[in-house]
Amino acid sequence: MEYDFSAMPCYGMKTKWAAAAISGYYDQFMKPCGITGRQFNFLCLLNRNGGCSARELADITRVDKSTLARNLKLLMSKDLVVDLKAPNERNSKLSLTPTGKNTLAAALIQWKAAQESLKQRFGEQELALVDKVLAEIGSLSMVKN
């Protein structure tokens, strides 16, 4: 059943649909690398930060604990991420494995292709506007009632 996306008056629902669409779009580009778009973001952040705890990663990405745990379990089972915490330490110390670094390098090529594809489809000015609007929407989580 087709639904006219533009006819939906609720910005919350439109945002969820748009988020699902763009996630799926990036997932298709990441598929050859064996990861999802979200997992690509996790790998990027772990690489950029030289590793971090699961709690820090959850805070940075605004992902709930169960979603993060599920993704980390998959990334660890694929030998992309390892937890280097010492046996007596409480917090995790997540880091990329050599395989994770190689996967990230390949995925970065795919990510650039996805970015370029979006630029070709929508144009740089439109994407700049989308970026500005998304930043404003992202700031809503900081608003206290």
H or E segment and range at residue 42: helix 37-49
Contact 69, 54 (CB under 8 A): yes
Is residue 1 assigned to a domain?
no
Residue 1 has pLDDT above 70, yes or no: no
Is the sign of the CA dihedral 131, 110, 64, 62 positive or negative?
negative
In whole angstroms, give the CA distance from residue 56 to residue 36.
20
pLDDT tens-digit readout, 12-25: 888 888 999 999 99
User: What would the two tokens of residue 21 be?
Assistant: 């669409």
| Residue whose token pair is 């990510």 | 111
Is residue 112 assigned to a domain?
yes
pLDDT of residue 138: 84
Contact 46, 104 (CB under 8 A): no
pLDDT tens-digit readout, 23-61: 999 999 999 999 999 999 999 999 987 888 888 898 888
What CATH number should be reported for the domain holding residue 94? Answer: 1.10.10.10
